[in-house]
Amino acid sequence: MSEAIQFNNVSLNYGSKNDVVEVLKRINFSVNSEEIISIVGPSGSGKTSIIMLASGLETATEGSIKINNEEIVGLKEDKLSEVRRKNIGIVFQSFYLIPNLTAIENVLLSLEANQKYNQDDDAKALLADFGLYHRLNHLPSELSGGEQQRVAIARALINKPKIILADEPTGNLDSANSASMMDLLFNYTKKSKTSLVMVTHDNSIAERCDRIIEIKDGQIV
């Protein structure tokens, strides 16, 4: 089984020379393809920072990060965007749908970023699978929180990425919505043979994953 993500001695610092905040301290881990892992730990331990680094949206202070065996540390913005487009789908805690785009347009955005055009049927099918067929042309403001997150997950999955990075995807949902959302996410990642790295505070969700990585004070424990 090949490795989808590799972190080797990765550190992340913020602040100036005299006032350095060490967010991550030389951490090492890898995620295999089709593996589902959860990252848990107390607030401020560095969980989300791992997702930020893995997505190429933040740059490691030192160390090496490989996505599908491609080193991403040191890449320029355009190249990082390309790696992200080809390999990664991100799900945020706050959904972050684009407010003036309808549900289907939000999903198509992900395909169009990859120069995949005229795939409206795929997007419709996916949203129908997510129980949103009747909401295709609704703006985010017309959707409930659970519906918005389902659109956000569909946006992350539509492009069939090799890795899904999810940052507390159920953090803004009630328990019923949360459970159905996780069912959806697990089923689809397994079905599409995708790796899933998920930050969560919810132990019940973490326990459903193949592996749990626990972070404390910027280190894996």
Partner 1 sequence: MVKLFNAQQLRLINKYAIRDFSRSYKKLWVVASTLFISLLLLSLTFSVKEALNNEIEANAKELLGGDIQITSGIDPLPSLVFEELKALGKVSSSIELATMVSKKGQSSVFSELRAVDDNYPLYGEIITTPQGAAEKIFLNTDKPTVLINESIQNLLQVEIGDDVVIMGKSFNVAGLVLSVPDLAERAVFGEFAIISKSSYDQFELSSAGSFLDHEYRLKFNNSNEEGEQTRLAKSIIAYDDTIETRLPGESGRSLNRIIDNFSNFLNLVSVSAMIIAGIGISNTLLSFVNQRNTSIAVKKSIGFSSNFIQLMYFYEIILILIGTSIIAYLFGVFSPLLANEFLPKSLGIDLQPTISLIGYLNIFFIGLLVVLIFSIPSLYSISEIKAVALFRNTFQPVSLNFSLKNIILLAILVTILTTYFVLQTDQKYYTVLYFLAFFITMLIFYGVSKLLIFFLRRLHKFSNNGYRIAYRNIVAKKSLAPIMTISLGIGLTLLLTLSFVANNLKKEISDSIPSMAPDLFFVSIDRDIKSDLEAFIKNIDPNVALEFSPMASASFISLNGTPIEEIVSKNNRSAWVVRGDRRISWAEKPKPDNPIIEGEWWEPGNEDEMFISMDSRAAYDLGMKINDKITLNILGRDVTGTLKNFREVDYRDISVNFAIIINKAFANKLPYEYIGTLKSDLSSNDILALVVERFPNVSAIKVDRILSQISGVLNKIFIAVTGISLIVIVIGLIVIVSAVMVQATFRRYNNLIYKILGVDFPTILKAMTIEFAVIYFTLIFFALSVAVLGSYLVVENTLQLTWKFDLGLTLWILLTTATVSFVLILMANKSIFSPKVYPLIRNE
Binding site for partner 1 (CB under 8 A): 48, 51-52, 55, 57-58, 77-78, 81-82, 84-85, 90, 92-94, 96-101, 105, 109-110, 112-115, 117, 155, 167
Nearer to partner 1, 31 or 52 (CB): 52
Backbone φ, ψ for residue 71 (5° rounding): -65, 130
Closer CB to partner 1, residue 17 or residue 76?
A: 76
What's the closest the beta carbon of residue 1 comes to partner 1, in angstroms?
Answer: 26
Q: In the complex with partner 1, which residue's Cβ is closer, 112 or 179?
A: 112
Q: How far is the CB of 199 from partner 1 (least distance, A)?
A: 9
The number of residues making up the chain comes to 221
User: What long-range pairs does 184-190 form, CB within 8 A, spacing at least 24?
Assistant: 184/130, 184/150, 184/153, 185/91, 185/153, 186/36, 188/153, 188/157, 189/36, 189/164, 190/34, 190/36
The Cβ of residue 60 has, within 10 Å, a number of other Cβ atoms equal to 22
CA distances from 189 to 108, 113, 115 (A): 19, 21, 23
Least distance to partner 1, CB of residue 163, Å? 13
Which CB sits closer to partner 1, 22 or 82?
A: 82
Looking at the Cβ atoms of 145 and 190, the one nearer to partner 1 is: 145
- Shortest distance (Å) from residue 88 CB to partner 1: 8
Supply the minimum distance, in Å, between the C-beta of residue 213 and partner 1: 17
Separation of alpha carbons 208 and 151, rounded Å? 23
> Minimal distance in Å, beta carbon 175 to partner 1?
22
- The SS3 of residue 40 is strand
Sequence-distant (6+) residues with CB within 8 A of 207 are: none
Q: Which residue has the tokens 């990060």?
A: 65
CB of 78 to partner 1, least distance (A): 5
Q: Give the type of residue at 46.
A: G
Question: Which lies closer to partner 1 via its Cβ, residue 99 or residue 176?
Answer: 99
Of residues 77 and 121, the one with the C-beta less far from partner 1: 77
Q: Which residue is listed with tokens 């295999």?
A: 32
